[in-house]
Amino acid sequence: MDILEKFYNMDVISAKQFKRSDVEDLIELSLKIEKNKEKFTNALHGKVMAALFFEPSTRTRLSFESAMLRLGGSVTGFSEAGTSSVKKGETLADTIRTVANYADVIVIRHSKEGAAKLAQQFSDIPIINAGNGSQEHPTQGLLDVLAIHDLKGTVDNLNVGLIGDLKYGRTVHSVAHLFSNFKSNLYFISPEQLKMQYRVKDSLTLKNTNFVETSNFREILPKLDVIYMTRIQKERFADLEEYAKVKDMFILTEDDLKIIKEDAIILHPLPRVNEIDPVIDSDPRAKYFEQTYYGMMMRKAILASVLLKDPLESLK
């Protein structure tokens, strides 16, 4: 593998910044670190990650923290803005300027779409976007591609269905951008009101990536190699009556197991509400809990390559 110096000090703001070779390098690095994990236990010794979570999180924050700790680094931060000086009226810019003096990398999740970019402007240390409103969640997209690569053996020539809230769901935006680098077929399956955002579709069109949009969930299901379910993003709806109309439209049920491919994989960024019947959890095609492990793997690779000139130094 090439020296990954290209990622050193990089901000991770959008999945759009990664081309095919970048995604492949990060997958390879994730797998390499995983294979040699005992050699990497001190790789980030002396480095500090600040996790600033202005919105709720379980997997993203804990997998970033766990990745950092398992690589020998340290973590600081907050998981509730209410415990920080934001509560006293501090601006995001001032918070970032301050934290940039304490840490080597900042991981930020915020409800405002412009938050990660704004943080980038006020920080001289790398910023990693862990979710900016309904726009993007690039590291989730990268871990999803890693999971698909590892479980299916390829990221090309697959029928990938992104299902559910494609309007407000930020993970599907990042997944779609990343897949525009590969030769798979994308199916955007959503209620009419929650169709994939135009800015994502426009960007795919510019890259000549084909996609099919439909609300006919069960017609497409038998074709899919990757069934990527998502939660309807209740917190983004201005009108809860609108939410009530769509919340139960796409639910993967036990009966669906009979119509989906034998070797399909079922993913979900989690948390799930009721999109996947829990009886499906014991089906071998259900991979959403394994998917969370890929999160830690990919975040180790991202942290190591942002914080180290040679992320593979531990292997030497």
Binding site for ligand NCD (CB under 6 A): 59-60, 131, 137, 140, 170-171, 231, 269-270
Report the residue number, 43 or 162, with the smaller CB distance to ligand NCD: 162
Distance CA 316, CA 79 (A): 36
- Among residues 32, 47, 60, 110, which one is catalytic? 60
- 60 in active site: yes
Report the residue number, 222 or 271, with the smaller CB distance to ligand NCD: 271
Nearest distance from C-beta of residue 29 to ligand NCD, angstroms: 21
235 Cβ contact list (under 8 Å, min separation 6): none
Nearest distance from C-beta of residue 170 to ligand NCD, angstroms: 5
- 109 in active site: yes
Nearest distance from C-beta of residue 166 to ligand NCD, angstroms: 12
Report the residue number, 191 or 269, with the smaller CB distance to ligand NCD: 269
- Among residues 70, 109, 110, 268, which one is catalytic? 109
Cis upstream peptide for 271 (omega within 30°) = yes
State how far the alpha carbon of 55 is from the alpha carbons of 10, 63, 169, 222, 308, in Å. Answer: 23, 16, 14, 36, 28
- 292 in active site: no
State how far the alpha carbon of 22 is from the alpha carbons of 71, 131, 154, in Å. Answer: 21, 20, 15
- 59 in active site: yes
- 76 in active site: no
DSSP string spanning 19-62? -HHHHHHHHHHHHHHHHTGGGGTTTTTT-EEEEEESS--SHHHH
Nearest distance from C-beta of residue 54 to ligand NCD, angstroms: 12
Give catalytic residues, as residue numbers: 59-60, 88, 109, 137
